[in-house]
């Protein structure tokens, strides 16, 4: 007789890190994934096909990409990512931690490019098959600190956008966080890396029991 099947101690979680360029998302996503044994991924470019789309999206020589085409390319990356990385991991009982998610598209293409938020949301809900992150950690860093950090980088196509664009993006992240407190947590990312990681870890434990 087969032993009885028991549900996992904790349902698999889909956690996303969000924030402006240079806020420390990649570092904190990696640290959390290592701590909880999660699949670490990113958007855009979290799959081989997505990496090819990302090359176009971030290429500074691409100067005539229509904003709707840009949004649809990112949605295509997301659909592939969901089908081949996120959903298989969740179905296998693995937690997923992602450096950026659908909420970056709402911030960048919705608030930043000023496309219809409802249209962007609808297209991406279809691409996601309804699977949205269960927890979003917004890393908050002052604009002047971000500017200093970006000054030393070789900037990509999005990073080269003007101040107005990046101000709208950051405002968009905070607007979404304010209106969806059951999903979002805002973390002051100005502390040392290990202290930020500890704050994130406490949130994950409190929210998800992990």
Largest CA distance in the chain: 66
Q: What is the pLDDT of residue 29?
A: 98
Q: Give the range of the structural domain holding residue 166, as residue numbers without chain letter.
A: 14-208
What mean pLDDT is predicted for residues 69-83? 98
Number of domains forming the structure of the chain = 1
Kindly state whether residue 35 falls inside one of the protein's structural domains: yes
Alpha helices (runs of H) in 45-116, residue ranges in sequence order: 48-58, 67-81, 87-91, 102-105
Mean pLDDT of 52-73: 97
* Burial letters 93-113, b for 16+ CB under 10 A, else e: ebbbbbbbbbbbbbbbbbbbb
User: Which residues fall within 8 angstroms of residue 89, CB to CB, at 6 or more apart?
Assistant: 12, 39, 95, 96
* Residue of 150 and 124 predicted with greater confidence: 124
Beta-strand relationship, 39-42 and 96-99: parallel
Q: What's residue 1's pLDDT?
A: 47
Residue 5's pLDDT is what?
44
Q: Is residue 5 part of a domain?
A: no
The Cα–Cα gap between 122 and 155 comes to 30
Q: Is residue 64 part of a domain?
A: yes
Mean pLDDT across the chain: 94
Place of tokens 């202290």: 195
pLDDT band for position 9 (cuts 50, 70, 90): low
In a domain, 1, yes or no: no
- The model's confidence at residue 48, banded by pLDDT at 50, 70 and 90, is very high
Identify whether 2 is part of a domain: no
For the domain that residue 53 is a member of, what is the CATH number?
3.40.50.300
- Using a pLDDT cut of 90, give the percent of the chain over it: 84
pLDDT digits (tens, 9 = 90+) for 135-185: 999 999 988 888 888 877 788 899 899 999 999 999 999 999 999 999 999
Q: Is residue 28 part of a domain?
A: yes
Query: 8: closest CA among 81, 118, 91, 101?
Result: 91
Question: Rounded to whole angstroms, how far apart are CA atoms 205 and 90?
Answer: 18
Neighbours of 79 (CB within 10 A): 18
Helix (H, G, I), strand (E, B) or coil at 2: coil
Question: Which residues contact residue 105 at a Cβ distance below 8 angstroms, ignoring those fewer than 6 apart?
Answer: 71, 74, 75, 78, 120, 124
Q: Is residue 9 one of the residues assigned to a domain? A: no
Give pLDDT, residue 184: 98
User: Scanning the structure block, which residue is given the tokens 């002051």?
Assistant: 188
Q: pLDDT confidence of 2, banded at 50, 70, 90?
A: very low
Task: Please name which of 208, 158, 156 lies closest in space to residue 182, comparing C-alpha atoms.
Answer: 208
| pLDDT the model gives residue 3 | 46
SS3 60: coil
**Residue 75, in any domain of the structure:** yes
**What local confidence, expressed as pLDDT, does residue 151 receive?**
78
pLDDT, mean of residues 74-93: 98
Q: What is the mean pLDDT of residues 196-204?
A: 98
Section 8-20 average pLDDT: 88
Radius of gyration of the chain (CA): 17
């Amino acid at each position: 007789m087969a032993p009885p099947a028991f549900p996992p101690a904790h349902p698999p979680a889909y956690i996303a890190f969000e924030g402006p360029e240079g806020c420390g998302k990649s570092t904190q996503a990696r640290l959390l994934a290592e701590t909880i044994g999660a699949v670490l991924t990113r958007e855009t470019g979290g799959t081989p096909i997505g990496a090819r789309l990302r090359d176009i999206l971030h290429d500074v020589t691409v100067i005539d990409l229509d904003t709707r085409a840009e949004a649809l390319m990112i949605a295509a990356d997301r659909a592939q990512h969901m089908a081949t990385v996120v959903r298989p991991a969740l179905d296998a009982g693995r937690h997923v931690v992602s450096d950026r998610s659908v909420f970056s598209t709402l911030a960048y293409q919705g608030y930043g490019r000023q496309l219809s938020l409802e249209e962007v949301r609808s297209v991406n809900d279809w691409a996601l098959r309804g699977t949205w992150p269960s927890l979003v950690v917004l890393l908050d860093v002052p604009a002047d600190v971000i500017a200093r950090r970006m000054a030393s980088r070789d900037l990509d196509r999005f990073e080269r956008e003007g101040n107005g664009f990046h101000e709208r993006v950051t405002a968009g992240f905070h607007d979404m966080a304010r209106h969806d407190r059951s999903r979002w947590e805002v973390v002051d990312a100005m502390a040392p890396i290990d202290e930020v990681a500890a704050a994130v870890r406490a949130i994950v434990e409190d929210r998800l029991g992990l």
